Amino acid sequence: MTFLKMLVTALGQVLASCGSHQARQFIEIRFRQAGYDDNSIDAAREAVTLLVTALITALMAQILLILAPL
1-45 per-position pLDDT tens digit? 788 888 988 999 999 999 999 999 999 999 999 999 999 999 999
Distances (CA, A) of 66 to 20, 60, 63: 25, 10, 5
Q: Provide the CB-side half-sphere exposure for 12 (13 A, CA).
A: 18
Res 70 pLDDT > 80? no
> Residue 67: which pLDDT band, with cuts at 50, 70 and 90?
confident
CB count, 10 Å around CB of 59? 13
Evaluate whether 57 touches 16 at the Cβ level (below 8 Å).
Answer: yes
> What is the pLDDT, as a whole number, of residue 4?
86
